Structure 1
Amino acid sequence: MTRTLRTALVAALMALSIPVSAGATSRIKDLANIEGIRQNQLIGYGLVVGLNGTGDTLNNIPFTKQSLQAMLERLGVNIRGQTLRTGNVAAVMVTANLPAFGTQGTRMDITVSSLGDAKSLQGGVLLVTPLLGADGNVYAVGQGSVAIGGFAAEGEAAKIVRGVPTVGRIANGAIIEREIDFNLNRENQLRIALRNPDLTTAKRVAAAINDYIGVPTAEPLDPATVGLTVPQQYRGNVVKLLTDIEQLQVEPDEAAKIVIDERSGIIVMGRDVRVSTVAVAQGNLTVTISETPQVSQPGPFSRNGRTVTVPRTRIGVQEDSKKLAVVKNGISLQQLVDGLNSLGIGPRDMIAILQAIKASGAIQADIEVM
């Protein structure tokens, strides 16, 4: 065996011994949700009292006045026809998310938002407010002191506002009164919903579940859903099945995509973005106009002379042209970024360049403009 052949054989064996870096894997728990295990949105209308003159103007906000009158009448106080001038009351919308499998008597957080022209909810107390679901039933009741994350202060000639003082939160401010009937352990068919729909990822999730259980129980139904038939050994104990499979590691696949936010100039590129060979050049045209008017004064002791302003305008045109930069075929994301950065351009111009490359058909990725 010659020395050259022996060297080539050693190099080949060393190449085979180098492990291939696998893609990043994630738990099924982090990739998907289980159908039925979900939150439900609740909403309610109520009154916040105890504000230090920062509440609604009753003459301008009729629903606050009507709500205050109705509440006092329920408590045995009749103020019909009376003039109300209090500024310590504000009408608010109360929102919350009913947690999955929330039981009666447990507490949850709620958010309180001003509905009228109140300046601040600081120091206010929310009165008993029923929270309704989409079906119109009351699932929780909220009440408590409102905590806000901002403040407002003003004087005769100045005003300062930090944060949003008209939105607050009440930690553990609602008590669940009605449960949603859903018995997970009695289910025989489950559906796993992927957070980022993808055909390849759905297939990999189903394959990982089937390999773990040993029988074909999971099947990808569409890019966003994997159907799961509960195996016989897990009947009546679906929680154990879900606990086992949600820890399985799966490598998610993703489409090549470029996300652009033109308002802020943010560009996010996926790792699989590829471009064909293309040449790119970018130039800026700068036009500068400066006005330097001059004043012409008449001579001393002149009888007919007068002061005249003579306009002077200077226009300059400067074109910053850069050479063509060649972006080669099939390059990686890092090489693409380095090639675009070599042009010495900012994010705004880079957005236009990416869109131009896409229009030429040289970029193999979807561009999503937010």
Structure 2
Amino acid sequence: MSLSAIFLKPARLAALWLMLAILCAPTVQAERLAELSDFVGVRDNPLLGYGLVIGLDGSGDQTMQAPFTGQSLTNMLSQLGITVPPGTNMQLRNIAAVIVTAQLPPFASPGQQFDVVVSSVGNARSLRGGTLLMTPLKGADGQVYAIAQGNLLVGGVGAESGGSSAQINHQSAGRISGGAIVERQVATRLGTEAGLIELQLKRADFTVAREVVAAINREFSQPLAAAQDGRVIRIQGPLDSNAQVNFMARVENLYINMPDAAAKVVINSRTGSVVLNRRVSLFPAAVSHGNLSVIIESRPQVSQSAPFGQGDTVVVPNSRVTIEQERGSLQTVEGADLSEVVNALNALGATPQDLMSILEALKVVGSLRAELEII
């Protein structure tokens, strides 16, 4: 038997070690840089407008309770050359005052269309079947950037008859697909005159900022990127606009190795929902949980005098108050991974509201190894 049959050759041994290292290495989560960050200056711009919706089937504003609807109609008619006599009480039920909101996308040019959301301002029961009249949409600077108009699409539906009514979903708001046309462009600069581009992380993280800088410098084989802080990264890009677009496309398509998310527990105090991520762990702790209930029963009794007696018949209150408390015993909670934590908390048999208090107490005593956030 040759020695090569007993001992592996160095090349094969190196390949074996490389394979073992790959198999044993921890999995790293990589995400596209475009999902983690935005280029400074590339953003949506909120727009707002006030308008009228017409063509409603008797479900519009009651002008006596919403006088601004009639005033808006009078102003619009006056601009069209129609004069409404002063003091005229227009009892209209097929018109509604609305607020129109939209997001002007970046690099939008005059003539392009985008969606708008139309919401009732007055007491209209439904905007279904209505048509929005030409409504100017203004930005934060008070300038008109778009004009909205069109037929509404309302997802809700309702019916009523004989004093009874039924409704599915919301009827006082709707959407117009492509209902706004851009009239003015918002100036957008991708970088400075020296070609300096700023990249802003959606969530501040020094580890992610370091990984982004390393990935960009590695992609272009030169130190073009530098972190300003845990959120902003400055990149030296080209001066030509076409080359700058190609440069930014390469940057946003880089994949970044993401660190594991910090252990966190989010509690929604309004809905009672509790969300835990997989990094949450519990150090050993003992929890006693029991419910306390107070029951008040009222059983009035009638006290009546004897026949032909001189007394009055009266009602005598008879109430009984009892306090019941479930027996609670100390139970150990402990868990190193998410499944163990969930099983430990479920073993307590607590309601969502009680679970919030238990988690807060576990955080105080140091057993809950996670950040606790209440929203």
The answer to whether 1:38 aligns with 2:43 is: yes
Give the C-alpha shift of residue 173 in structure 1: 0.7
1:107 to 83, 108, 113: 113
Query: How far apart are the structure 2 equivalents of 1:258 and 1:20?
Result: 28
Q: In the alignment, is the contact (CA less than 8 A) between 1:51 and 1:87 conserved in 2?
A: yes
TM-score under structure 2 length normalisation: 0.84
What is the one-letter code of the residue matched to 2:343? D
The answer to whether 1:356 aligns with 2:356 is: no
Q: In the alignment, is the contact (CA less than 8 A) between 2:60 and 2:96 conserved in 1?
A: yes
CA-to-partner distance for each residue in 1:149-193, whole Å, 9 max, x for gaps?
A: 112333342222322211111111111111112254876112222
Q: In the alignment, is the contact (CA less than 8 A) between 2:190 and 2:197 conserved in 1?
A: no
Q: Summarize the Cα distance change of 1:40–1:257 in structure 2 as closer, same or farther, 3 Å threshold.
A: same
1:218 to 225, 232, 253: 225
Q: In the alignment, is the contact (CA less than 8 A) between 1:69 and 1:80 conserved in 2?
A: no
Q: Summarize the Cα distance change of 1:134–1:186 in structure 2 as closer, same or farther, 3 Å threshold.
A: same
Q: Summarize the Cα distance change of 1:70–1:295 in structure 2 as closer, same or farther, 3 Å threshold.
A: closer
List aligned pairs for 1:16-31, cutoff 5 A.
Answer: 18-31=23-36
Structure 1 residue aligned with 2:286: 279
Q: In the alignment, is the contact (CA less than 8 A) between 1:185 and 1:238 conserved in 2?
A: no
Structure 1 residue aligned with 2:200: 193
Structure 2 residue aligned with 1:256: 263
Query: How far apart are the structure 2 equivalents of 1:52 and 1:160?
Result: 17
Query: How far apart are the structure 2 equivalents of 1:231 and 1:258?
Result: 44
2:77 to 68, 72, 76: 72
Secondary structure in 2 aligned to 1:66? helix
Query: How far apart are the structure 2 equivalents of 1:362 and 1:179?
Result: 55
Structure 1 residues without counterparts, runs of 5 or longer: 1-12
1:92 to 98, 113, 124: 98
Aligned length: 353
Structure 2 residue aligned with 1:56: 61
Secondary structure in 2 aligned to 1:161? strand
Give the C-alpha shift of residue 145 in structure 1: 0.9
Secondary structure in 1 aligned to 2:349? coil
Give the C-alpha shift of residue 31 in structure 1: 1.0
Q: Summarize the Cα distance change of 1:83–1:308 in structure 2 as closer, same or farther, 3 Å threshold.
A: closer
What is the one-letter code of the residue matched to 1:282? H
1:116 to 102, 122, 141: 122
What is the one-letter code of the residue matched to 1:345? A
Secondary structure in 2 aligned to 1:212? helix
Q: Summarize the Cα distance change of 1:307–1:148 in structure 2 as closer, same or farther, 3 Å threshold.
A: closer
Q: In the alignment, is the contact (CA less than 8 A) between 1:185 and 1:236 conserved in 2?
A: no
CA-to-partner distance for each residue in 1:273-326, whole Å, 9 max, x for gaps?
A: 344332223222344555667889999xx7769999795848463423133214
Give the C-alpha shift of residue 139 in structure 1: 0.8
Query: How far apart are the structure 2 equivalents of 1:211 and 1:136?
Result: 45
2:89 to 80, 83, 105: 83
Q: Summarize the Cα distance change of 1:15–1:240 in structure 2 as closer, same or farther, 3 Å threshold.
A: closer
Q: Summarize the Cα distance change of 1:160–1:363 in structure 2 as closer, same or farther, 3 Å threshold.
A: same
Q: In the alignment, is the contact (CA less than 8 A) between 2:203 and 2:231 conserved in 1?
A: yes
Query: How far apart are the structure 2 equivalents of 1:133 and 1:310?
Result: 67
